[in-house]
Amino acid sequence: MGARVTIAMSVFNQLALTRACLESLRATTEPFRLVVIDNGSTDDTARVFERFEYPYPLRFERNGENRPVIATLNRAWRLAETDYVCVLHNDTELVEPEWLARLVAALAEPGAGLAGLYGVKRLRRSGRYVGRTIVHSLAEGPTVRPPWEEVAVVDSVCMCLPRALLEEVGGFDEGYGFYHGLDRDLSFAVRERGRRCLVVRAPFVHHGGGTRAREFSAQPERERRDVAARREVLARFRTKWSHRLPCDVRSRRERVTAWLRAKLA
């Protein structure tokens, strides 16, 4: 059977994380193709992909310089020719071989448009997440009920959707800048078209820091710039999607139960 899914990645250095991710993909039961854009790495990342030793079809290209991750991911998914695209961070390790099959199966649910492994059910009018409504499949203790739950936003650590739908919404909005905001915006673009966003029960490990570029290192000045960038992103999101904020996909029963638990805590 031919592959229905293309996994799209942007990589920048952090070769050890990328290798761990690639190794974890070996057991994946759902056939897939892999598209990787090297976003200006200065380590051995390019050489590893040029001498690719993994069993899945690869398309590999390089940016001559470190470019905005959002633009790089747009370049990556547009190279896909399959029915589905799964944008995946290279700092993840997938624990269960059926992870990708579960994402694709979730997209067959009535009205489903976007599936992932981490998300949030409620956003305030400010566009900020309500932390207690986060559901996830992190391997150390998944909180999402199987097989999946509806959310307002699917986190960019893993975002799987029909390629035609990604084309319809115009891909990721590069107006958000270097990195932040792509997941909030894409999720709301999907919901704007009457489709649902889902988080699937498929445990994974997330190490953090592999997809982001050098602009987001731990140096104090760059940390300040990162905070400022997040504020600008939130303001853009709030303006663009004000007609959909606040947003809460929980049922009335879920809301009342959560309120009572908070009251009694």
CATH for 225? 3.90.550.10
Per residue in 162-209, pLDDT tens? 999 999 999 999 999 988 899 999 999 999 999 999 999 999 999 976
Torsion of CA 245, 192, 104, 204, to 10 degrees: -20
What phi and psi values does residue 37 have, to the nearest 5 degrees?
A: -110, 120
Q: Taking each helix axis from N to C terminus, what angle separates 220-240 and 182-192, rounded to the nearest 10 degrees?
A: 10
Average pLDDT, the chain: 93
Q: What is the pLDDT of residue 211?
A: 56
User: How many separate domains does the chain show?
Assistant: 1
Four-residue CA torsion sign, 256, 185, 3, 47 = negative
Number of Cα atoms under 13 Å in the Cβ half of residue 106: 29
**Per mean pLDDT, which range of 126-135, 162-171, 256-265 is the poorest?**
256-265
Whole-angstrom distance, CA of residue 154 vs CA of residue 149: 11
Give 250's DSSP letter. -
* DSSP alpha helix (H) spans, 9-109: 15-25, 45-50, 69-77, 99-106
* Cis peptide bond prior to 110, omega within 30° of 0: no
**Residue 25 pLDDT more than 50?**
yes
Whole-angstrom distance, CA of residue 6 vs CA of residue 3: 8
217 vs 246 pLDDT, higher one: 246
Per residue in 225-244, pLDDT tens? 888 889 999 999 999 999 99
pLDDT band at 1 (very low <50, low <70, confident <90, very high): low
Whole-angstrom distance, CA of residue 124 vs CA of residue 130: 7
**Residue 210 pLDDT more than 70?**
no
Neighbours of 106 (CB within 10 A): 21
Q: What is the pLDDT of residue 263?
A: 77
Q: What is the pLDDT of residue 261?
A: 78
Q: Provide the domain limits for residue 11.
A: 5-264
Mean of pLDDT values over 77-97: 97
Q: What is the pLDDT of residue 214?
A: 46
Q: What is the pLDDT of residue 174?
A: 96
Q: What is the pLDDT of residue 156?
A: 97
Beta strand 5-11 with 196-200 is unpaired
Asked whether 202 and 97 are in contact (CB, 8 A), the reply is no
Asked whether 72 and 10 are in contact (CB, 8 A), the reply is yes
In the chain, how long is the greatest CA-to-CA distance?
A: 58
Q: Tell me the pTM.
A: 0.92
For residue 16, give every residue at least 6 positions away whose Cβ sits within 8 Å of its Cβ, in sequence order, or none: none
Q: What is the pLDDT of residue 258?
A: 81
pLDDT band at 218 (very low <50, low <70, confident <90, very high): low
167 vs 216 pLDDT, higher one: 167
The torsion region of residue 40 among left (phi > 0), alpha (psi -120 to 50) and beta comes to left
Neighbours of 163 (CB within 10 A): 18
Whole-angstrom distance, CA of residue 205 vs CA of residue 27: 15
